[in-house]
Amino acid sequence: MRRFLRPGHDPVRERLKRDLFQFNKTVEHGFPHQPSALGYSPFLHLMAIGTRSGAIKLYGAPGVEFMGLHEENNTVMQIHFIPDQCQLVTLLDDNSLHLWSLRQQSGASELREEHRFTLKGPPGSPPSATQITAVLPHSSREVLYLGTESGSIFVVELPSFRVREDRTITSEAVLQRLPEDSCNRRSCELVEALQEHPKNPDQILIGYSRGLIVLWDLQSSKATHHFLGSQQLENLYWQRDGSKFVSCHSDGSYTQWPVSSDNRQPEPLESLVPYGPFPCKAISKIYWQTTRNGLPYIIFQGGMPRASYGDRHSITVIHGSQQTAFDFTSRVIDFFITFSSEPAAEFEDPSALVVLAEEELVVIDLRTAGWPAVQPPYLASLHCSAITCSHHVSNIPLKLWERIISAGSKQNVHYSRMPWPIDGGTNVAPDPPQRDLLLTGHEDGTVRFWDASGVCLHLLYKLSTVRVFLTDADPNDNMNALGEDEWPPLRKVGTFDPYSDDPRLGIQKIYLCKYSGYLAVAGTAGQVLVMELNDEDAEHVVDHAEADLLQDQEGYRWKGHEKLKTRDGPVRFEAGFQPFVLIQCQPPAVVTSLALHSEWKLAAFGTSHGFGLFDHQQKRLVFVKCTLHPSDQLALEGPLSRVKSLKKSLRQSFRRIRRSRVSSRKRRGVSGNASEVQEANAKFDQDALQEMELAPVQRKIEARSAEDSFTGFVRTLYFADTFLRDSSRHCPSLWAGTNGGTVHAFCLRVPPAERRMDEPVRAEQAKEIQLMHRAPVVGILVLDGRGTPLPEPLEVAHDLSKSPDMQGSHQLLVVSEEQLKVFTLPKVSSKLKLKLTALEGCRVRKVTVANFGSCKTDDYSENNLAVLTNLGDIQIISLPLLKLQIRYPCIRKEDVSGIASCVFTKYGQGFYLISPSEFERFSLSTKWLVEPRCVVGAPEATSTNHVHSKSGLGSAARRS
């Protein structure tokens, strides 16, 4: 035992460890949590997203991405790229400005913060005097114009952020030459918008919130034009030629103004309330894009009739007679338009509308009739329905990969074929070493197949299990079906839909056999579906089998949810994975473990009541085993038991309080209503905190006993061909581990292939091991004669693994939450153990065997256990000697959902959720490392097109 306490100091091993293990968090997949700002550089073709936690992320061509984090962790309010530069400026909610640069270093670009700056007013001035509301990076790249709440516009030099006080545009200067009646100080209250003249860099347009708009000449420091708007101003947009501009207003109207040298105080050309005549909500941003054919695109955010559609998050596109109000699933943060023309071209010719909503990114193709959506290659909304589980499969055979892609492409026909419009930068990362799939199970009963090979997590195919069941939702209820004369012409876009029809549909466990294409999926209401990949649509009946896990245990009543009702008769399934058999566990408790052996055609499943084995070739239940302890009332009654739910809800509410405390600290500096809410929140938090302090947290110290609840909960299932009964003959076996520290081993007799359909599969209980520490068993593994884990089913048949050594004696590794133990087989005697909890106070949450290759030589690799503990540490433990190799802190221990969501890959990488919508990817291996590596081209004022030609090649190569 003591030898585990001292880490080995063998220098050879230490050197080898350095060649094998290395910890890196490489990239974040998915959609940023709580985005707060959007920026776009038409020059670099790069998009930037800022979040409430102070992160900024830059995206270009697929694979081109950068991330930066503001030290302050404050909300990013605005992002502005410096024209024609690899630089951008961010404004945070603490009124600080930050200059970021993309610099090339050893062949790849890096995003770095260069400077920070907070605007300071004269001593004694109110904070509002310098509170920045609008930022204009001037095309000269030398200065920033900063509009403030006080109405003054400050000028700072770049990159030094030196304030040029001599050039400050005060409201007094602006009001000169203005007619007396509109000349009061209040008209200059807050700078709402600043826009540079598209043709003349010496002129800038200043919009004040009260409605006054001024064209200011920088050379003469004088206002050349005054535009007297009567409505509260929201935003401004110049037309391409500089002859007109548009203003949009809080009453839902927009106004066109002419700019000419003869009229210094012109009247508006046109003023419209597009969704009038009833009161409308504000139009907060507007674009006026000119085209070759003369008909402009008018694109604006908001403006919906307040009473009937005030709750919609919409962006309207008007082009001639076409008008569509895109209706988003969540609040619109910001949007921009991409255009493919040269910056100096006469017309803008918009190509795509890019909208950042709170929960997803939506891109609309404006070139194709019908304005279809474009499928983003990154920034996927992982949480469009909440993720309930994930499963990773490494090294997918090409054949299966192509079939999944083909099934997925049939689902994506409604997407535009337009190439991804945001295509800046060049991806210089090597092609991913292998094809990896990440499968996520969702609350709405879907399983999503993601291409997790490279930096861009990309949706390949979506599988829905809902069709098998009868649900309350009417399948004919089509939200998009709108009548001809529907006004406003709303059209739903986006996939974010967090509301599940029926929580019982939720997916809990997934198991994919990459060699055979068999997939098993299990859900919340005890449903287990076995599926097969079919390249064509098909209509067939799903066979149905019931597995009564309580068997002869009498007198128990399940108080939890009912099982899902199934559809009678044949069901039509689209191409892809199609279920052919449904196994329904009784009672219909959550399926807690699942295993599939495609070679033997067996599926094993477990719940809190027991486990069963199903022969999916003969479609026959082989056996069930009840693991329930008679006193375990909680497991019997199901999740609706009052005792548990009360406890749980209390715990959750405390967690919520804690979380809201953290987030409320971040959300400062928002005016008006929000701050009141915050104040109330803060008060509530404080009260809750005090309450917690009054009753100190205490923990009961009690040994686990057989009577504890949920001891029968089946945590892990494992198939192995090993020596279970005697050392001369090996046989198929099924292993199950429970929450109470019990391991059940069943000896299986699978008929040979030629009689597979004729003879039944038989099973017999051969062993039962009770770990005296009674901790939940989270992993079971059999090591062959060489101490190597047994290969996966069909792996040897596909020549992808050496045959296991059946000469030497096999060993059984049982991983409980507290210890790892190795036993001999077939006679079970304990050989080795490694205690984690007793010595370190940590518990095993996830464990996987991973293969680590050396970065120095290609021919050396070894299998180790990767273990994630409840403290968020990752430990690598050697096999078969169970020696701790190395330990890395990975996830904060308070991040319970992050720890629960973690999945390891077979090659020493892993994923965990850092927010409901984002996976962090990490690597423990020196050899397998997927991280962005990209170059953003140096400024070339003339052309941008060739900058990104290479990246297109890169992404094409990855798909093949």
| 643/706 with CB nearer other proteins | 706
- The 3-class SS string of 426-494 reads EECCCCCCCCCEEEEEECCCEEEEEECCCCCCEEEEEEECHHHEECCCCCCCCCCCCCCCCCCCEEECC
| 401/735 with CB nearer other proteins | 735
Of 53-61, 453-461, 836-844, 883-891, the segment contacting other proteins by CB under 8 A is 836-844
| CA–CA distance, 436 with 431 (Å, rounded to integer) | 13
| 413/701 with CB nearer other proteins | 701
Number of C-beta neighbours around residue 737 at 10 A: 29
Cβ–Cβ under 8 Å, residues 528 and 585: yes
| 321/698 with CB nearer other proteins | 698
Radius of gyration in angstroms for the set of CA atoms belonging to the chain, rounded to a whole number: 32
Can residue 59 be called a binding residue for other proteins (CB under 8 A)?
no
- Assess whether the previous peptide bond of 587 is cis (omega < 30° from 0): yes
Type of residue numbered 734: L
| CA–CA distance, 520 with 579 (Å, rounded to integer) | 9
| 500/742 with CB nearer other proteins | 742
| CA–CA distance, 65 with 931 (Å, rounded to integer) | 10
| CA–CA distance, 563 with 526 (Å, rounded to integer) | 7
C-alpha triplet 185, 187, 191: angle, nearest 5°:
105
Among 821, 845, 906, 927, binds other proteins (CB under 8 A): 821
Among 220, 728, 829, 943, binds other proteins (CB under 8 A): 829
- Assess whether the previous peptide bond of 127 is cis (omega < 30° from 0): no
| 116/831 with CB nearer other proteins | 831
Can residue 900 be called a binding residue for other proteins (CB under 8 A)?
no
Can residue 344 be called a binding residue for other proteins (CB under 8 A)?
no
| CA–CA distance, 10 with 809 (Å, rounded to integer) | 28
Residue 938 corresponds to which tokens in the numbers above? 């140096």
Site for other proteins in 753-772 (CB under 8 A): 765-772
Site for other proteins in 839-878 (CB under 8 A): 839-843, 870-871
Cβ–Cβ under 8 Å, residues 600 and 606: no
Smallest separation, CB 604 to other proteins (Å):
20
Smallest separation, CB 770 to other proteins (Å):
4
- CB under 8 Å to 873, separation ≥6 — which residues? 842, 887, 888, 889, 890
Can residue 366 be called a binding residue for other proteins (CB under 8 A)?
no
Among 12, 369, 703, 753, binds other proteins (CB under 8 A): 703
Smallest separation, CB 732 to other proteins (Å):
17
Cβ–Cβ under 8 Å, residues 326 and 299: no
Smallest separation, CB 895 to other proteins (Å):
14
Number of C-beta neighbours around residue 540 at 10 A: 14
Can residue 699 be called a binding residue for other proteins (CB under 8 A)?
yes
By CB neighbour count within 10 A (0-12 exposed, 13-18 middle, 19+ buried), where does 18 fall? middle
| 13/893 with CB nearer other proteins | 893
| 742/951 with CB nearer other proteins | 742
Smallest separation, CB 630 to other proteins (Å):
15
Which x/- pattern, by CB under 8 A, does the window 878-897 give for other proteins? ---------------x----
Which x/- pattern, by CB under 8 A, does the window 774-813 give for other proteins? -x--------------------------------------
CA torsion 780→785→791→797, rounded to 10°? -150
Among 795, 818, 873, 920, binds other proteins (CB under 8 A): 818
Cβ–Cβ under 8 Å, residues 358 and 33: no
Among 105, 321, 698, 728, binds other proteins (CB under 8 A): 698
Of 89-97, 251-259, 702-710, 714-722, the segment contacting other proteins by CB under 8 A is 702-710
Smallest separation, CB 848 to other proteins (Å):
22
- At which residue do the structure tokens 């090993």 appear? 722
Among 450, 823, 919, 928, binds other proteins (CB under 8 A): 823
Among 700, 729, 755, 946, binds other proteins (CB under 8 A): 700
Can residue 439 be called a binding residue for other proteins (CB under 8 A)?
no
| 434/765 with CB nearer other proteins | 765
- At which residue do the structure tokens 């770990």 appear? 771
By CB neighbour count within 10 A (0-12 exposed, 13-18 middle, 19+ buried), where does 183 fall? middle
Residue 220 corresponds to which tokens in the numbers above? 């003469």
C-alpha triplet 550, 524, 596: angle, nearest 5°:
75
Can residue 701 be called a binding residue for other proteins (CB under 8 A)?
yes
Can residue 383 be called a binding residue for other proteins (CB under 8 A)?
no
Residue among 84, 93, 101 at smallest CA distance from 41: 84
| 481/695 with CB nearer other proteins | 695
Can residue 652 be called a binding residue for other proteins (CB under 8 A)?
no
Can residue 728 be called a binding residue for other proteins (CB under 8 A)?
no
| CA–CA distance, 245 with 891 (Å, rounded to integer) | 51
- CB under 8 Å to 856, separation ≥6 — which residues? 19
Size of the site for other proteins (CB under 8 A): 47
Among 369, 481, 753, 838, binds other proteins (CB under 8 A): 838
Of 133-141, 700-708, 712-720, 860-868, the segment contacting other proteins by CB under 8 A is 700-708
Q: Which residues of 264-273 are buried (b: 16+ CB within 10 A; e: fewer)?
A: eeeebeebeb
Among 344, 413, 479, 697, binds other proteins (CB under 8 A): 697
Of 371-379, 573-581, 754-762, 815-823, the segment contacting other proteins by CB under 8 A is 815-823
Of 261-269, 417-425, 693-701, 732-740, the segment contacting other proteins by CB under 8 A is 693-701
Smallest separation, CB 59 to other proteins (Å):
38
| 338/811 with CB nearer other proteins | 811
CA torsion 761→765→766→767, rounded to 10°? 140
| 26/897 with CB nearer other proteins | 897
| CA–CA distance, 575 with 654 (Å, rounded to integer) | 46
| 662/670 with CB nearer other proteins | 662
| 532/708 with CB nearer other proteins | 708
Residue among 934, 948, 945, 922 at smallest CA distance from 63: 934
Smallest separation, CB 777 to other proteins (Å):
12
Can residue 481 be called a binding residue for other proteins (CB under 8 A)?
no
| 527/870 with CB nearer other proteins | 870
- At which residue do the structure tokens 């309330």 appear? 273
Residue 707 corresponds to which tokens in the numbers above? 């009577």
Among 244, 467, 835, 887, binds other proteins (CB under 8 A): 835
Helix, strand, or coil (residue 912): strand
Among 830, 940, 945, 957, binds other proteins (CB under 8 A): 830
Smallest separation, CB 812 to other proteins (Å):
11
Can residue 398 be called a binding residue for other proteins (CB under 8 A)?
no
Can residue 273 be called a binding residue for other proteins (CB under 8 A)?
no
Angle 673-694/642-666 helices, nearest 10 degrees? 130
In the complex, which residues of this chain contact other proteins (CB under 8 A)?
A: 1-2, 5, 696-707, 725, 765-773, 775, 818-819, 821, 823-824, 828-832, 835, 837-843, 870-871, 893
